[in-house]
Amino acid sequence: MSFCVEYYELENGTCPVEEFILKQDNKMQAKIFKNLELLEIRGNELREPFS
Protein backbone atom coordinates (compact mmCIF):
# COMPACT_ATOMS: atom_id res chain seq x y z
CA MET A 1 0.00 0.00 0.00
CA SER A 2 1.30 3.44 -0.90
CA PHE A 3 0.67 6.57 1.13
CA CYS A 4 0.52 10.20 0.02
CA VAL A 5 2.43 12.87 1.94
CA GLU A 6 0.56 16.15 1.76
CA TYR A 7 2.13 19.45 2.77
CA TYR A 8 0.14 21.96 4.81
CA GLU A 9 -0.88 24.91 2.66
CA LEU A 10 -1.93 28.32 3.99
CA GLU A 11 -5.00 30.16 2.73
CA ASN A 12 -2.79 32.46 0.65
CA GLY A 13 -1.38 29.45 -1.23
CA THR A 14 2.06 29.31 0.39
CA CYS A 15 3.48 26.09 1.77
CA PRO A 16 5.66 26.67 4.88
CA VAL A 17 7.02 23.11 4.90
CA GLU A 18 8.17 23.28 1.29
CA GLU A 19 9.76 26.70 1.91
CA PHE A 20 11.60 25.30 4.96
CA ILE A 21 12.92 22.29 3.03
CA LEU A 22 14.12 24.43 0.13
CA LYS A 23 16.04 26.72 2.53
CA GLN A 24 18.17 23.77 3.70
CA ASP A 25 21.50 22.85 2.13
CA ASN A 26 21.56 20.12 -0.52
CA LYS A 27 22.67 17.36 1.86
CA MET A 28 19.85 18.08 4.33
CA GLN A 29 17.29 18.35 1.51
CA ALA A 30 18.34 14.92 0.29
CA LYS A 31 17.88 13.44 3.78
CA ILE A 32 14.46 15.04 4.17
CA PHE A 33 13.23 13.87 0.76
CA LYS A 34 14.60 10.36 1.40
CA ASN A 35 12.67 10.16 4.68
CA LEU A 36 9.51 11.52 3.07
CA GLU A 37 9.79 8.89 0.33
CA LEU A 38 10.22 6.20 2.98
CA LEU A 39 7.11 7.54 4.72
CA GLU A 40 5.16 7.32 1.45
CA ILE A 41 6.24 3.71 0.98
CA ARG A 42 5.92 2.38 4.54
CA GLY A 43 3.46 4.82 6.13
CA ASN A 44 2.28 3.80 9.56
CA GLU A 45 4.45 0.66 9.47
CA LEU A 46 7.57 2.72 10.19
CA ARG A 47 9.12 2.16 13.58
CA GLU A 48 11.95 3.80 15.50
CA PRO A 49 13.89 5.96 14.74
CA PHE A 50 11.30 7.33 12.28
CA SER A 51 8.28 7.30 14.57
pLDDT tens per residue, range 7-36: 999 999 999 999 999 999 999 999 999 999
pTM score of the predicted model: 0.79
C-alpha 15/C-alpha 33 separation (Å) is: 16
Cβ proximity of 47 and 40 under 8 Å: no
pLDDT surpassing 90 at residue 1: no
Q: Is the dihedral of CA 26, 32, 38, 41 positive or negative?
A: negative
Amino acid at 21: I
Crossing angle for the helix pair 16-23 and 26-42, to the nearest 10 degrees: 130
Burial class (CB in 10 A: 0-12, 13-18, 19+), 17: middle
Of 46 and 24, the structure prediction assigns the larger pLDDT to 24
